[in-house]
Structure 1
C-alpha cells in the first residue's frame, strides 16, 4: 500500500504518535526536503529510528487498506490531501508547536499565497463592528487583494469571508470539524462561492469528525498560523477569540486590534490586548500600512528557514 495520506492517517492515530510526534515530524520533514517522502522510505526510517512504531504499523495492513479505500472515495468526490513535509504543506505550520500531520481541503491550496490576513472576532458582533468591516476591511481588501483566513463561524468570521468574496479576494475557511461534518451547517451554502473565488475549506480532522467544543480552540491555532498577521475585530473578556490572538503571538505573528469604548463590554478583551501591546488599527489605511510592513518582515525572516534540513522550530 503506497498511499502516503492514508499511511499518515494511520500514524496520526497510532498510540505512540503523541509521545514521538516531534521525531515523526522530523522524519517527514527530512524526507520531504530531499524529495523522497513516501511510504516505503518512511517505513525504513521508522524501522531504524522508531522500531516501536514500525512493528505495530507493519501489523496494521488491514486497517491501512480500509483508510486507503476511504481516502480514494473522498478523492473521487473532490477532496484533496496534503501531508507534513510535502510541497503543498503550509510553510507557516512548521513554526507551530503542534502542527497537523495531515490536512484535507476542498478547493485550491491558496494558503501558499504570502499576502494573507487572519480575521477573528465575536460570533455576536455589535452593529458598529460589522459596519467597520463593511467600510474599512472592504476598502483594505479592494486595495491590497489579500487572502482572508477565518473560521466560518457566524458573526465576524462569516462577515470576513463575505467581504473578501465581494472584493474578489480568495478566502480560507478553517473548520473545527471534518469536511464531511461542516460546522456550522450553513457553511454548505458557502462551498461554491468560496471555491469559485479561488479559496478553500480546510480541515485537519478526519472527514467524518463532528464538531466538539475543544476543537474550536485547537483549530484556532491553525487560523493564527495561516495569516501573516491576525486582525481582531471585536472580543469580550475571556472569549475564544483571545485564544487565537495569544496563539498568534506565540507564533511570532503580529496582532492588530480594532478599539472600542471602555464601557462597551463587546470590546473588553480587545482593550486588554491593546493594553498588553497589541497594535491598534483604526481604518483601512492603518491596515495597509501594517500589512506592507509585515510582509517585508516576513520576507526577511524567511531567508534560510529550514536550510539546514532540520525543522524551523
Structure 2
C-alpha cells in the first residue's frame, strides 16, 4: 500500500479525524504498514479511543479502500497526502496540517507564484464588492494567485476578479469538492476549473457538512497563502477567524478601510487598530513582497486618460484627499451646488472612477 492510500484509508474510517491520524503516526514508523498489523497490535496502539480501534479493525480491508477510490474516481476527485511532493509547501508546517487533501483542478498552482487570500463578509456592500473585484484583478494581472472560500459575497467576487486577470484562483471548501456549497456557486466553481484554477478541501467524499467545517477550513485558506486581505467584515466574522489562523501562522495581514457608519467595516477597522496594514491601493500589498508593478507607479486609475471636466477632477481630488466622503461633505469641500455634484457623481460611478457606498457616500475605486 502506498502512503497516500494509507492516509485515504484512515481518513475514510468513521471517527478518525486529522488529529487521530497524527496520533497513529506517532505510534508506528510507517503508516502504510498499519493495515498489515494484527488486530491485537491495533488494539495496543496508545492514546486512541477503543471504538476507533474497533473501526480500524473492522475496515482493515483493501476491498474497502478500493471502494473509496472508486467513488473518488467516479466524481473525478484527486487526492494527495502530506508526504507527497506536490502537497502545498506552505501548508505542511501549520498546526493541524491536513494529512490528506482532496481536489479538482491543477494543484501545482499552489506552489507556483505568490498566493494571497482575499476574504470578507457574505453580506457585502457595493463598495466591498468593488474593492474585492478590483484588488483581486489587479493582483492577478501581476501573476498573483487569489485564494478564497467560494462563499457568497466577498469570496465570490475575489474569485471572479482573479479570473479577469492572469493569475489563477483557488477555492477552499468546507465540504467535499464534489458537494459545492452554496449551491448557487456551482457555476462559479466550474468557471474556476475551466480557467485552470483549483478547488480543494480536506473533507472526504463521505463527509457530512457541519457549521464548524467552515471555521476549520479557514486554516487552509491562510495556510496556503502568503498573506490575508480582509475587504469587509463585521465584528464577529468568519474572515476574522481566518485572520486569527494567519497570525498564528505568521502571515501578513491587510485590511481595506470602509465607511465608519457601516457595520461591515467594524471588523476591518478593528484589525487595523490591532496592527493589520491598511490598504489604500495594491502598492501597499506589493511593497511587503518587494514586487514592482512596472505597469504604473500608483494603482489608482489613470484619470488623465479619461475625458473629465474640471469639476469632475476637483471632486476626484477632494475624495482622494479625504478618503471617503458623503455628498454633503463633497459640496462643502468643493463649494459646488448639490444638483451639479449629484450629476457628476453619477457619471463618475458609471465610468467606474468612484464607488457609491451606503447613504450617498463615495470613495475612489482602487
TM-score by length of 2: 0.68
Tell me how far 1:196 sits from its aligned partner. 2.3
Change (3 A) 1:9 1:246: same
Tell me how far 1:56 sits from its aligned partner. 5.8
Other structure's SS at 2:92 match: helix
In the alignment, which of 147, 157, 160 is matched to residue 159 of structure 1? 157
1:118 alignment counterpart: 117
Other structure's SS at 2:124 match: coil
Q: Does 1:206 align with 2:221?
A: no
In the alignment, which of 177, 180, 183 is matched to residue 179 of structure 1? 177
In the alignment, which of 231, 236, 242 is matched to residue 244 of structure 1? 242
Tell me how far 1:102 sits from its aligned partner. 1.1
Q: Does 1:39 align with 2:32?
A: yes
> 2 CA distance for matches of 1:60 and 1:254?
45
Q: 1:27–1:42: 8 Å Cα contact kept in structure 2?
A: no
Structure 1 unmatched runs, 5+: 32-37, 294-313
Structure 2 unmatched runs, 5+: 292-366
> 2 CA distance for matches of 1:263 and 1:148?
29
* Cα distance per residue 1:159-184 (max 9 Å; x no partner): 00001111132111111111232111
Q: 1:137–1:284: 8 Å Cα contact kept in structure 2?
A: no
* Cα distance per residue 1:91-128 (max 9 Å; x no partner): 22222211111111011112122410011001111111
Other structure's SS at 1:133 match: helix
Change (3 A) 1:134 1:161: closer
1:127 alignment counterpart: 126
> 2 CA distance for matches of 1:237 and 1:61?
45
In the alignment, which of 290, 294, 301 is matched to residue 292 of structure 1? 290
Segment of structure 1 superposing worse, 59-68 or 119-128? 59-68
In the alignment, which of 140, 143, 146 is matched to residue 145 of structure 1? 143
Q: Which has the higher contact order (CA 8 A, sep 6+)?
A: 1
Segment of structure 1 superposing worse, 275-284 or 178-187? 178-187
1:59 alignment counterpart: 57
Tell me how far 1:220 sits from its aligned partner. 0.8
1:256 alignment counterpart: 254
Q: 1:175–1:219: 8 Å Cα contact kept in structure 2?
A: yes
Tell me how far 1:138 sits from its aligned partner. 2.1
Change (3 A) 1:55 1:114: same
Q: 1:137–1:163: 8 Å Cα contact kept in structure 2?
A: yes
> 2 CA distance for matches of 1:15 and 1:40?
20
Tell me how far 1:43 sits from its aligned partner. 5.7
Other structure's SS at 2:209 match: coil
Q: 2:258–2:265: 8 Å Cα contact kept in structure 1?
A: yes
Within 5 Å, which residues of 2 pair with 1:8-27?
8-12=7-11, 13=13, 21-24=21-24
How many residue pairs match? The answer is: 283
